[in-house]
């Protein structure tokens, strides 16, 4: 019997499953999705919520039905050898809902204060940076930092750019950033250290809507370019970084 995960107590009614890290982010993301599907399918009465991260899943459970030790035992039995169940995994993959989400972006020096810096570092024109950023699909590896903040990858290696040495106090809602080999859309005004290259008018988190977020772990995101007037017509707001 082999396992590639550890289960630890994370609170009075919570456990966290840590999976062995992998350089293949999409592979570990897929494994987490499969684990989520299994848990939801087999332990739906015991489990209240599942919160995925890069290489872990936080499980909030119903203490009236199960305790830490009982749930740990059930999880170990359920997930052991998850990587060695090709037929079962094939069935589960078919159950995972994967969406393609198209997000409009207003790329410009006005909306992207770091666009020129990214271009200079890469020895590219601004137009080339824009084309490279919107020319490929991105995998949603995880959603974190703030509700609706999806970590998307991988960006083209030519425009991969390190985080800012000093984070900004305020990054406007809708800002599209690059940090190393990932890209993201800021769901709200917040501090941040990503390189901002544009603005997206799409709401990335709305508490009272269902679903609250347009993206989920495992989705594919595609960016497409819009003009300033289109951005404003879609409800976009021009805000300055500080």
Query: Where are the alpha helices (H) located in the chain, listed in sequence order?
Result: 25-42, 68-79, 86-95, 115-122, 126-134, 228-233
- Gap between the terminal Cα atoms of the chain: 54
Q: How many CB atoms lie within 10 A of CB 242?
A: 10
Q: State pLDDT tens for residues 16-70.
A: 998 887 667 677 777 777 787 788 888 888 988 877 777 788 899 999 999 999 9
Assessment of whether the complete model's pTM goes beyond 0.85: no
CATH class of 100-233: mainly beta
Structural domain spans, the chain: 5-95, 100-233
Integer-rounded Cα radius of gyration of the chain? 20
Domain 5-95 = CATH 3.30.1360.40: yes
The rounded mean pLDDT for the chain is: 87
**Long-range contacts, 207-213 (Cβ 8 Å, 24+):** 207/147, 212/147, 212/148, 213/143, 213/147, 213/148, 213/150, 213/187
Residues 31-41 have pLDDT tens digits of: 777 787 788 88
């Amino acid at each position: 019997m082999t396992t590639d995960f550890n289960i630890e107590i994370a609170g009075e009614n919570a456990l966290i499953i840590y999976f062995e890290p992998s350089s293949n982010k999409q592979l570990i993301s897929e494994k987490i999705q499969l684990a989520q599907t299994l848990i939801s399918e087999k332990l739906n009465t015991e489990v209240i919520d599942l919160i995925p991260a890069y290489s872990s899943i936080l499980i909030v459970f119903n203490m009236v039905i199960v305790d830490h030790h009982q749930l740990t035992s059930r999880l170990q039995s359920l997930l052991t050898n998850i990587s060695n169940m090709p037929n079962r995994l094939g069935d589960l993959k078919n159950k995972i809902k994967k969406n393609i989400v198209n997000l409009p972006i207003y790329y410009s020096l006005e909306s992207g204060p770091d666009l020129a810096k990214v271009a200079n570092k890469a020895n590219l024109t601004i137009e080339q940076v824009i084309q490279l950023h919107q020319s490929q699909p991105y995998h949603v590896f995880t959603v974190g930092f703030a509700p609706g903040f999806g970590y998307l990858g991988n960006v083209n290696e030519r425009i991969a750019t390190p985080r800012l040495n000093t984070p900004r106090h305020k990054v406007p809602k809708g800002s599209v950033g690059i940090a190393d080999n990932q890209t993201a859309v800021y769901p709200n005004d917040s501090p941040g250290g990503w390189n901002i290259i544009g603005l997206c008018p799409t709401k990335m988190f709305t508490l009272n809507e269902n679903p609250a977020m347009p993206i989920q772990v495992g989705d594919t995101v595609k960016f497409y370019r819009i003009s300033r007037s289109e951005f404003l017509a879609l409800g976009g707001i021009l805000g300055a970084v500080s």
